Amino acid sequence: MSPEKAQAYWKENISTIIKLLVVWFVVSFGCGIIFINELNSISISGVKLGFWFAQQGAIYVFVVLIFVYVSMMKSIDEKYGVHE
């Protein structure tokens, strides 16, 4: 792989990671701390939504983001010809 292509690959990889981390930050910090009062006005099965995001929602979103990352990296790897 040429140095320019390798640099473009890593730039796209880092960009993908940053986007996914921003989503996780918004869900974990935003929904669990910043927007908790607004979310607590919604109750699901007797549990306030803000509390749920702080305790479990961020973890679920993180697991989903792992699968999203794998999917995105497969397409990036194929795009740059480094897939297995």
* Structural domains of the chain, count: 1
| Tokens (6 digits) for 60 | 């679920």
The pTM assigned to this predicted structure is 0.78
- The pLDDT score that the predictor gives to residue 77 is 92
Q: Which domain holds residue 34?
A: 3-79
Residue 34 lies in a domain: yes
- The 10s digit of each residue's pLDDT in 25-76 is 888 888 778 888 888 888 888 888 888 878 888 889 899 999 999 999 999 9
Residue 18 lies in a domain: yes
| SS3 at position 33 | helix
Residue 50 lies in a domain: yes
Residue 84 lies in a domain: no
- The pLDDT score that the predictor gives to residue 17 is 95
Residue 35 lies in a domain: yes
Residue 39 lies in a domain: yes
- The 10s digit of each residue's pLDDT in 5-32 is 989 999 999 999 999 999 988 888 887 7
Residue 60 lies in a domain: yes
Residue 16 lies in a domain: yes
- The pLDDT score that the predictor gives to residue 48 is 87
Let me know if 31 is exposed, middle or buried by CB neighbors in 10 A (0-12, 13-18, 19+). Answer: buried
